[in-house]
Amino acid sequence: MGTRPQRGRGRGRPRADFDDESGIEDTVVKLYRCATVVKGGRRFSFGALVVVGDRNGQVGHGYGKANEVPPAVEKGIKQARRNMFPVPLRGTTIPHRVIGRFGASRVVMVPAAEGTGVIAGAAPRAVLELAGIKNVLTKCYGSTSPKNLVKATINGLKALRSRATVEKLRGVTLDLPPEREPVEGKEPVTPRADVQEESPAAVAVVESEAAPPTAVAILEVQSETTPETAAPATPEPSTEDTSHDA
């Protein structure tokens, strides 16, 4: 007795087994409930918007639908794991500013210093945190639909390029200062170019100038700066004979 060929959407496609993967976290961003009216009443179905990631540069999103909530979440997780992609990071933030767009939504993502945190709404925050980004500034414009915001954030992360990738694509070497990776638990301190070390003598001069002047010093300064007032000289009578003979 021969086996019947498989039919349906899964024909010829091996079933993915995600139980062996470890280190991948998932979160449900939004649950949708849809009701359709039939002859006997209402029939409900549920949709789950899910984001998964390993918090180390891998993230993906999915949307599952079913008549119950748990099957919908499971379908969303499976789809999200299939859609995972790598995200280029620079330490705990993104390499450069980027704008993600989807539909009527725009998400602007800007790199931030160590200790800033993830400044974002609920939907972009889920994507950024599971991608491993810990310091970033975001701003959303347009539609605030969670579906649009998640897809706009994913679009922006896919548009990120690291310096090594840009140099490889262009075949050039970028004339930029080397990137300094932030130390875990410490905030990087960048020395200012316009501030120089002062010698001890210069510090002593500054301190002496900053000290309040004494009364003797004030009198000396006034005597040096104020010119002496002398009495006007009396004009001497002229000895020349100014008379003329008539």
How many Cβ atoms sit within 10 Å of the Cβ of residue 54? Answer: 16
pTM of the model: 0.64
SS (H, E, C) 184-205: CCCCCCCCCCCCCCCCHHHHHH
| pLDDT tens by residue, the chain, 246 residues | 444 444 444 444 334 444 445 689 999 999 999 999 999 899 999 999 999 999 999 999 999 999 999 999 999 999 999 999 999 999 899 999 999 999 999 999 999 999 999 999 999 999 999 999 999 999 999 999 999 999 999 999 999 998 888 888 888 888 777 666 555 555 544 444 444 545 555 545 445 555 555 554 555 555 555 555 555 556 565 555 555 554
- Decide the pairing of beta strands 118-119 and 136-142: parallel
Query: Residue 91 has which token pair?
Result: 């330490």
Which domains does the chain show, CATH number per domain? 25-86 (3.30.160.20), 98-170 (3.30.230.10)
The pLDDT of residue 11 is 41
The pLDDT of residue 23 is 86
Helix locations, the chain, DSSP H = 69-82, 122-131, 146-158, 163-170, 200-210, 215-225
The pLDDT of residue 246 is 42
Helix locations, 69-199, DSSP H = 69-82, 122-131, 146-158, 163-170
Helix locations, 101-144, DSSP H = 122-131
The pLDDT of residue 28 is 95
How many Cβ atoms sit within 10 Å of the Cβ of residue 34? Answer: 10
In 3D space, the residue among 86, 23, 31 whose CA is nearest the CA of residue 63 turns out to be 31
